[in-house]
Amino acid sequence: MSKGKLLKSLLLATALLATSISAGPATSVSAATMTSDFNQLNATQVVTAMGAGWNLGNQLEASINGIPSETAWGNPTVTQALIQKVKAAGFKTIRIPVSYLNYIGPAPNYTINSTWMARVKQVVDYAYSQGLTVIINVHGDGYHSVSGSWLLCNSSDQTTIKAKYTKVWQQIANTFVNYDEKLVFESMNEEFDGTYGNPNTTYYSNINAYNQIFVDTVRKTGGNNSARWLLIPGWNTNIDYTAGNYGFALPKDTYRSTTVPSSEKRIMISVHYYSPWDFCGEESTNITQWGATATNSAKKSTWGQEDYLNSQFQSMYNKFVTQGYPVVIGEFGAVDKSFADSSNNTYRAAFAKAVCSTAKKYKSVPIVWDNGYNGNYGFGLFNRSSATVTQQGIINAIMSGMSS
């Protein structure tokens, strides 16, 4: 989730914490019996297999007063039917943001609430059982704007944070150890000190340390985790601050399974793309058009058009993909301003198609952001209550971009 989206979420927040966090029919996956060739795929093949992705946003990362709750930000409980509809729409990957916050117990064990962990597993199973690639992370725990956050790179008590982070990822990794490599772990989300501009080098080194702890901790749990694909971000998942010379360091994969050929990687790089922000996320009706087909220059941003998109994705390709590290555009999208400009959805679709076709060009995985909200300034592509499509044109554009 990028700046602005959290505010929209909080405006949708319910007054009371949901009393139940389980919903829908129980889905049991015997992960050990599920087989795939995913762990045999090289970097290029994995990107192709992951296809276009979709975010189950503002659900398992939603919270109120530091307590995670999937209905806290106005969405209904997640159902198997919704996930099936997402698959039917053509998406091959689902990213499931997850927050833990005050569902993490005290030191020294930092035990995650068992009911919450079981619900996370159930939602993962909704997608995993459909043969989709699933990405799960530690999402809102590093947000300065979220109550109960603790994964703060600018905190003075890094020793405690690192101990807690280790224990949290031990538990997540052990919960899913028998799942095959169609389950991808992502270390964290949009981690930075909360200020925009060039990264603080000390705080960036803390982010690098978190990524190293994540890789080491997951690998040491053994089993399928020893060869699993792991996804890591740089500073605020910003492309410039990840591909440029601002302090990002790739973690060493010391404990990886020896069954993985030494010439291959099992680490992916995560970045987000909401450029230009005045078109993609700003809650203003000033900028509603994008790209070469825009008909009103006054409604089009002065930056962030096709050439900028190409240069951004090319920089990630040059820095990482050429070295064998797949790139995942973990979030992208543009809010709905069609109430102010009837042509807006045409340009939202053009933007989505361009992102996906450029991602394909540079061998990256695009995953569209969906916060479940279909009103003004919403990112919703589906109605989550009825499990129906609301923005077929944008979905068509995504699939067209992937096939171009």
**Predicted pLDDT at 24:** 37
Quote the pTM value.
0.92
Q: What is the mean pLDDT of the chain?
A: 92
> How far apart are the C-alpha atoms of 91 and 130, rounded to whole Å?
11
> How far apart are the C-alpha atoms of 168 and 157, rounded to whole Å?
17
* pLDDT over threshold 70, residue 27: no
**Predicted pLDDT at 30:** 39
Q: For domain 5-13+27-403, say whether CATH 3.20.20.80 is its number.
A: yes
Domain ranges of the chain: 5-13+27-403
- Is the CA virtual torsion 101, 107, 109, 111 positive or negative? negative
> How far apart are the C-alpha atoms of 184 and 292, rounded to whole Å?
36
Which stretches does DSSP call E strand in 16-161?
53-55, 63-64, 67-68, 93-96, 133-137
**Centroid of chain to Cα 193:** 19
**Predicted pLDDT at 404:** 81
**Predicted pLDDT at 37:** 54
* pLDDT over threshold 60, residue 22: no
* pLDDT over threshold 90, residue 100: yes
**Predicted pLDDT at 38:** 54
**Predicted pLDDT at 39:** 62
**pLDDT digit string (tens) for 103-119?**
999 999 999 999 999 99
Average pLDDT over every residue of 32-41: 52
Query: What is the set of active-site residues?
Result: 190, 331
> How far apart are the C-alpha atoms of 135 and 229, rounded to whole Å?
10
Encoded tokens for 173: 């990794």
**Predicted pLDDT at 82:** 98
**Predicted pLDDT at 6:** 46
> How far apart are the C-alpha atoms of 73 and 77, rounded to whole Å?
11
Cβ contacts of 171 within 8 Å, gap of 6 or more: 111, 112, 117
- If you write DSSP's letter for every residue of 288-356 in order, what string do you get? -B-STT-S-GGGB-SS-SHHHHHHHHHHHHHHTGGGT--EEEEEE-----TTT-TTHHHHHHHHHHHHH
